[in-house]
Chains A and B, each alone.
Chain A
């Protein structure tokens, strides 16, 4: 594997707490992401994993605890701030605009303008530069079964749309990519392609936090698995150290473990 567990963690959450009235969604949760790894986050519905992920992507402001990026404390008040620091999120509902084309979607909200007076005064978009960079990124990730970069996203299949969303995160994410259920809505063949794509992104040096309900997918691609239960991390295992049924047992509370195969 390409992960580097001896290095400084790229992203760390320490003792994060988030309460909604009397409900504690995150209860002193920790999470550690090392350079070059895919960290899967699993947990039962209501275990608080999506709240934790939202805290890491800036969509939610935690009540207590700290988030460290490259060892330095950071505070996000919005997803835009997290994004500016290099944390990209691929949302479950993809956040792509169906009527716009692939290149427009990749650069949506971060368009490139022409150099010189055309860009500064007339605000003219540099469509060619955006198309070229989009093309290059899609090619690099092996997504060029999509033939035409200027075709509307709505003409793509579910897996190809997922590919566009992943390509966008890989294009702008400089530190971390967070993926929320990337294979949930896909068929068998398309899931396979997306899993390969996730590995491809990891192999290009971007660490990934992968949220998924699909145990076979998690065990196939993850380097480590963070199991969330009752608002905190119940255990961190690897696909080699535990079986799928053991992971489910930890997730549901039928089995208790307190070992981090890396930290220990």
Chain B
């Protein structure tokens, strides 16, 4: 009994002693003095989530240019990498929004393909004006997002399950509506060239950029603005970070979630337009790996799967890291299977780093 009593009193007096030594003003300073360089690096990564993927990107570019040489650093090759990551980049924007709310969307690829099929069939088979066909496609994207969002906010399904289900549903609808037929590139070029417009290129200093790539960059800037400079963006982060706290602070978290899923659906439909520009045709089988590739870009870009942490530009960097590794390994003549291997390692390392950063923060 006496031992049990004495223990806490020792603890309390220790606490006071330490607190007195620290004084009132120097609390924080004392903390920093004890930090090792590793701790400081960890804090730096925690504060700037884009730092880690940026370091990897720079090292990869230096590494590949040392191995491969000028062929890798040629503006033409760099712009090719940008073209190759454009679709993943756009879909990655949608995925980032959702992962910031601590959700995940497995249906992004299916939404993109469904929207592209709707755009193509509306313009070609139904003879609707191309711009209107685009708008209808974007409307389909918004509706699919609304369905996902409703399943999650109204029926309280976990995002993983809700979108696993809707992925299959949207993919089946896409096969049904397209009758599993591809609309050929020539047909689109003759009847609705607007659908392919994002595939056209402009040349800057030997680099050929597609309008699709430029649109992707514009979308990144737009969403960055919305996330960082509007109340809605703060609410997205707060909802992902701690939904209970956000609710107590007066945020209608269900509305925020719903808006995020609808916006993600719209962004995926814009991705559908980019997709048609990139491959020329409209195929119900296109973009099958986009789901997982978009998650890969987000994770490598430093976004936490637990929500509330990460930057939209991290996803762009993440997509570029994947693009640089694939391109570099291909140019180096390495078998394709090692590309997959490398991307896999990158994902594991990225999530490992995220866990390390989140653990034991001061």
| Partner-B contacts on A (CB < 8 A) | 79-80, 83, 91, 93-100, 104-105, 108-111, 113, 123-125, 127, 145-147, 152, 154-155, 157, 187-189
Contacts and interface: CB of A to CB of B under 8 A. Distances in A.
B245 A97 contact: yes
A97 B250 contact: no
Interface string B222-262: 00000001111011011001101110111100000000000
Interface in B112-133: none
Given A123-B230, A124-B229, A108 B28 contact: no
A125 B242 contact: no
Give the top 10 A-B pairs by smallest Cβ distance, nearest first. Answer: A95-B248, A189-B19, A109-B250, A111-B231, A97-B238, A108-B249, A123-B230, A99-B241, A95-B245, A109-B249
Chain B, interface SS category: helix
A109 B28 contact: no
* Residue from A83, A91, A94, A189 with most neighbouring chain B CB atoms (10 Å): A189
B172 to A, nearest CB: 38
A31 B250 CA distance: 26
A136 to B, nearest CB: 19
A167 to B, nearest CB: 14
Contacts of A125: 229-231, 234
Task: Kindly name the residue among B28, B229, B238, B249 whose own CB sees the greatest number of chain A CB atoms within 10 A.
Answer: B249
Contacts of B301: none
Given A100-B241, A125-B230, 13 more contacts: A93-B248, A95-B245, A98-B241, A100-B237, A108-B235, A108-B238, A109-B250, A111-B231, A113-B231, A145-B24, A146-B28, A152-B47, A154-B361
Contacts of B241: 97-100
Interface residues of B, number: 31
A203 to B, nearest CB: 19
Nearest to A110: B250
Interface of B: 12, 15-16, 19-20, 24-25, 27-28, 47, 229-232, 234-235, 237-238, 241-242, 244-246, 248-251, 308-309, 361-362
Nearest to A96: B245
B250 A99 contact: no
B234 A111 contact: yes
B361 A155 contact: yes
A54 B308 CA distance: 29
Contact of A147 (B16, B28, B308, B362): B28
A104 B234 contact: yes
Contacts of B27: 145, 157
Contact of B248 (A91, A100, A113, A145): A91
